[in-house]
Amino acid sequence: MNQYLKSLWLTETVRLIEKDSGRFHDDDANRQARAIKASVSERIMTRAEILSEQHGLKRSQQEWLNSAKLSLFILFIIALFTGAGLAFSALAQNPVNLYWALLCLLGLHLVTLCLWLISCIFLPNESGSFLIHIWLWIAKKLSKKTTVSQVLPAFISLFNKQLRWLVGLVVNLLWTVILFSAFIILLTLLSTKHYSFEWQTTLLSADSVITVTHVLGQLPAILGFSLPNNDMIRASEQAMSNGEIRSAWAIWLLGIFIVYGIAVRLVLLIFCWLKWRIGCQSITLNLQYPQYQLLVNDLDVVAIKHIVDKEHHHNSVLHAENKQIYSTATNKMLVAIEIETNWLPPAEIEFLGFLNSHNERKAMLDFLQQHPAEKLLIAIDTNRSPDRGIINLIQSLATKSVHCRLWFINQGRQFSNWQESLSKLKMHQTDTAWLLKEDDNAKRN
């Protein structure tokens, strides 16, 4: 599965979760999605990728994929032994009853093939199959229960119309493995042991057996597999030890098995694989879902107006372009969190503003998302406690800059708690001199 389909799958997972449990806390994810120059669909997918990373959905998806691959491998092993069992049961007796051997080799294959074809014709929207249910059951057992409950319904919802081709792909792949395994064992046994062949019947005459033998062997004969002549068929009513007769029947049996068994499953395998690939290429994000309609407005590029005068630290800045410039950021900025607005920062430093209200914080994060700082200094009043909201804001601001440090403007009542928070944030304390240093000094951060 390519990365695009994985992204669509994660997006659908997020949609289903939000449909049942409400919106995630997605301000920062929306902000990052708006920052990319792309279509609305791509922004929605980017948002889903960010939320999936934050909430472990991407890890859950990978766990489910790994479980599905492991369970498929287990089914391959089972298929190999199943094929070997078919071959041994077909040649369990010597002399070999030809038509009983054919029934052992192709009976179950033909029955399941007919059931699958009937379901495809009359129940095109159903994707039930015994093998596929075993596969999903093993995958669930090998992965976490919570993971499957989140990810699997999204997979089914996203690939709904294409699931029958995935089912056909897996089922025909397993049957190809089963029949190929049986063919290898069959060829090995016929090459290393003497087998005599006979046909037995109570109701049919010898002429009927000859007709059936020729009808079954006609298509393989076109591909080069020889047919026993009428005298050989009549003589085989009783087991014959003649080498030519044994060889003719062995080739006839192998030809029928290859043409009506392996070749049929291989053709269907290729057909289902092509339909699955073509179908997956047509899958796109359905923006008609109500959850996506709400996101269309949230992720639209809008002009963000933030007023900051330079002398009194409130200059007017208009941000309307949608660009990511982390790698080219050269600015050095200062912001203040939960500090009284009468506080005066150093005049020689570019001060972006106070972050005391929700709107101010949102506007600043939007601005820094569009124009990230090379060096960002965050002024902190240590009389304020380092609560979860402030810590989360600091972490969000740090992601919008190349280098970020904290400046404690005083040694207030909560100074010791802020010292402890520094280690948790994995950030350094500094002062305004850090902003004025050369860039190579900033790299030490």
Would you write out the chain's pLDDT as a tens digit for each of its 445 residues? 789 999 999 999 999 888 888 888 877 788 888 878 888 888 899 999 989 888 888 888 898 888 889 989 999 999 999 999 999 999 888 888 888 899 999 999 999 999 888 877 776 655 555 555 666 666 666 665 554 567 888 888 888 888 888 888 999 999 999 999 999 999 999 888 888 888 877 777 888 888 888 888 889 988 888 888 887 877 776 656 577 888 888 899 999 999 999 999 999 999 999 999 999 998 988 888 888 888 887 787 553 333 333 333 333 333 333 333 333 344 788 889 988 888 888 888 888 888 888 888 888 887 887 778 888 899 999 888 888 888 888 888 888 888 889 989 888 888 888 888 888 888 888 888 888 876 544 444 4
Structure tokens at 333: 């900025």
Q: How many secondary structure helices (H) and strands (E) does the chain include?
A: 18, 8
Note the pTM of the prediction, 2 decimals: 0.70
Tokens 């669509």 belong to residue:
8
Taking the C-alpha atoms of residue 56 and residue 52, their distance in angstroms, rounded to an integer, is: 6
- The count of other CB atoms within 10 Å of the CB of residue 374 is 17
DSSP-derived 3-state class of residue 381? coil
Taking the C-alpha atoms of residue 183 and residue 262, their distance in angstroms, rounded to an integer, is: 9
**Sequence letter at residue 274:** L
